[in-house]
Amino acid sequence: MLLVLIAFMYVNNTSLFTKSSAETPLLLAHRGLGQTFPMEGIKSDTCTAERIYEPEHPFLENTIPSMEAAFEAGADVVEFDIHPTTDGEFAVFHDWTLECRTNGEGVTREHTMEELKQLDVGYGYTADQGATYPFRGKGIGLMPTLDEVLTHFPEKSFLIHVKSSDKYEGKLLAQYLSQFSDTKLEKITVYGGDEPISALKEKQPDLRVMSVATMKSCLLPYLAVGWTGYVPGACENTQLHIPEKFASLMWGYPSKFLNRMEKVNTRVILVAGDGGWSEGFDKKQDLERLPESYHGGIWTNRIDLVAPIIKE
């Protein structure tokens, strides 16, 4: 009986007998096309603008030009970060405070959008420990609003990152998104803290979302019973960011796992490494680690380098 059970588990979850998808992986461009930096020694308070690699392109993350460049390079989805402002807008900007990247000071969300528009978002970038600042003066006025981004790209898909654990922020975002059609909302996914995502999902139940809580509610029961082919209801209509290090633990990975999630309208994004610091599949050697039959999403910080390889 035990051997029969083991055989069933194997046959039901192996990808060997699953027809390979002809689809190429979905490409998710983290913060658009921006400047990258070494991940070694990164901490939560590290100013990454002060440690960028020598620039290979002129784009700054979370700006409309960087998003245009990402889509032109081949991105299917662009990720960006938002903060509410004191005058009722959502600013598109990564950092909780302004000092690292800009010539401003203080907490991002404690400013008006008008004040944020005056800042130079390229002010703090340096590749040589402050000897030169190649983007200083070139990022004035480039911090966009959420509305500007969605208006500029009416047909494109986005992953929006709520940068707080404030429940009220989820309600604000739900109110903003309520103006859009179902067709538009199908192109939007939102992730962030448990509280704002829960509040957002309550108001926008059909919106694809992700948080630590939604990931746990899906993946923990799936790890327990997914060998049967059962997909928990909590997995439906959501997004899963799976660290590469742990992907093989998913029952049926890659093909059957991806197919099961696709059937319940859930998008799987593979993140490089252990998922700690937004590590991406950023070069050819990274892509070589992907399973041959992988057709889910991949997270990249260098869409300009990765997309041509994937799309060829």
> Over 70: is that where the pLDDT of 28 sits?
yes
Give per-residue pLDDT as tens, 107-164: 999 999 999 999 999 999 999 999 999 999 999 999 999 999 999 999 999 999 999 9
Active-site residue, 30 included: yes
User: How many whole angstroms separate alpha carbon 78 and alpha carbon 49?
Assistant: 20
pLDDT digits (tens, 9 = 90+) for 200-251: 999 999 999 999 999 999 999 999 999 999 999 999 999 999 999 999 999 9
Q: Is 94 a catalytic residue?
A: yes
**What average pLDDT does the structure give for the chain?**
93
Q: Which of the following is catalytic: 30, 83, 111, 241? A: 30
Instruction: From residue 1, give the alpha-carbon distance in Å to each of 119, 122, 251.
Output: 69, 65, 21
Check 83, 94, 111, 295 and give the catalytic one: 94
Q: Mind giving me the DSSP string for 277-294?
A: S-----SHHHHTTS-TT-
- Comparing 41 with 200, the larger pLDDT belongs to 200
User: What pLDDT was estimated at residue 277?
Assistant: 72
Beta pairing, strands 157-162 & 188-192: parallel
How far apart, in whole angstroms, are the C-alpha atoms of residue 240 and residue 214? 9
pLDDT at 7 > cutoff 70 = no
Maximum Cα interatomic distance, the chain, rounded to a whole number of Å? 71
